[in-house]
Amino acid sequence: MDSKTIKMTAMNLKTKFRKCNGHHNFLLSFTTMVVNTFSMLMFIYMGVIVIILCIETYLLFCIDNLVDFMRLVTYTLLMYVELFVCFCYPSQELFDEANQLSISLYCNTNWYNHPSCYRNILILLGKSQRRVIFTACGLLDLDLQTGMSAIQSMISYSMFLRKVTGMDE
């Protein structure tokens, strides 16, 4: 490679770093804005949805009428879908995309061939270690693991209600 080609690839690399930095800054600011705006509401929503779905799951075992049973099944499934599709999955995607940044920067660029880019890569690698995820009041991460834990809690509570009310007999 001649010096002109090396210089051109260094310029391309710096442009890519700027784009990555801009995208990462966007992810950080967007996450901060959403968490500051909706954090308390999401915490309340998670509490309410756990209670509602716990009761709905319990009621599924009490219903004898097929039409009412199908309504409850539909409602319960749609609530589960809402929890995962609207909240847990997008948050997980954001988290995964932000985590992929450091891997992409380190592995998919030839930064080690361009000493002028060392400083930029180190700054971006350091910034990429900052956690990017939606939370509910800072207590619950809204990700797929939290969604599955919520479902486990709902089923456990509904089984507890069945046991307490004597429906198991």
pTM score over 0.85 = no
The Cα angle at residue 8 between residues 5 and 9, in degrees rounded to 5: 90
pLDDT in tens, 47-103: 898 889 888 888 888 888 899 999 999 998 999 899 889 889 999 998 898 888 878
Q: Tell me: pLDDT of 33 over 70.
A: yes
Percent of the chain with pLDDT over 70: 92
Mean pLDDT of the chain: 83
Q: What is the pLDDT of residue 44?
A: 93
What secondary structure does DSSP assign to 43-71, as a single string?
Answer: HHHHHHHHHHHHHHHHHHTT---HHHHHH
pLDDT in tens, 88-100: 999 999 889 888 8
Q: Phi, psi (5° rounding) for residue 130?
A: -70, 135
Q: What is the pLDDT of residue 16?
A: 79
Residue ranges making up the domain that contains 19: 3-165
Q: Tell me: pLDDT of 1 over 60.
A: no
Question: Phi-psi bin for 134: left (phi > 0), alpha (psi -120 to 50), beta?
Answer: beta
Among positive and negative, which fits the CA dihedral 139, 144, 149, 155? positive
Domain tally, the chain: 1
Instruction: For residue 109, give the nearest of 5, 26, 20 by alpha carbon.
Output: 20
